[in-house]
A = this chain, B = another copy of it.
Amino acid sequence: MTQKDDFDLREFLPYLLNQAAEISSQSFQRTYKGRYGMLRTEWRVLFHLAIYERMTAKDICEKAIMHKTKVSRAVQRLEQRRYLQRKPDEKDRRHEWLTLTSQGRAVYEDLRAHAQQHDQVLMQKLSTEEITVLRRALNALSQP
């Protein structure tokens, strides 16, 4: 199994990014799925609501770069579990203001602790300088 072609997959960014993303996400996925039966879209929405406190679905779409159908379904499931409440805007009833319940905030606090701990473990694989550059580069690559 000797190499014939000099193209190196380990230099192709989409390949590298997907491998790193998948492997780095597994442990945190086990946490939000195992402890709360949540999906990726759901923890993302939960975290946004915890961080910004009060948002419409459209706010979340923009901040989280998520399509409105993803947000709509995530909000529905979070509401069913009593992690958030909806309140229609009085002036424009097309909008609904979303806020976490105390139960939703408790789930967030727990997941945030796990997220931070998980991040610490990941960062142990890297130097301080690598972490800084990595975050900057990933943010740059996330601009479409």
Q: Please give me the residue from chain B that is nearest to A63 by CB atom.
A: B1
| Assembly CA distance A11 to B120 (angstroms) | 11
> Are the C-beta atoms of A14 and B24 separated by less than 8 Å?
yes
> Are the C-beta atoms of B119 and A59 separated by less than 8 Å?
no
> Are the C-beta atoms of A15 and B44 separated by less than 8 Å?
yes
Residues of B within 8 A of A16 (CB): 135, 138-139, 142
Is the interface on chain A under 10, 10 to 19, 20 to 34, or 35 or more residues? 35 or more
Q: Which of A60-119 contact B (CB under 8 A)?
A: 63, 65, 112, 115-116, 118-119
| Assembly CA distance A1 to B62 (angstroms) | 12
**Among A2, A14, A18, A144: residue with most chain B CB under 10 A:** A14
Question: Contact partner of A51 among B4, B115, B125, CB < 8 A?
Answer: B4
Please give 12 more A-B residue pairs, beta carbons under 8 A apart, in addition to A4-B50, A19-B142: A7-B115, A13-B122, A14-B122, A17-B20, A20-B138, A122-B141, A126-B137, A130-B133, A130-B136, A130-B137, A133-B134, A134-B134
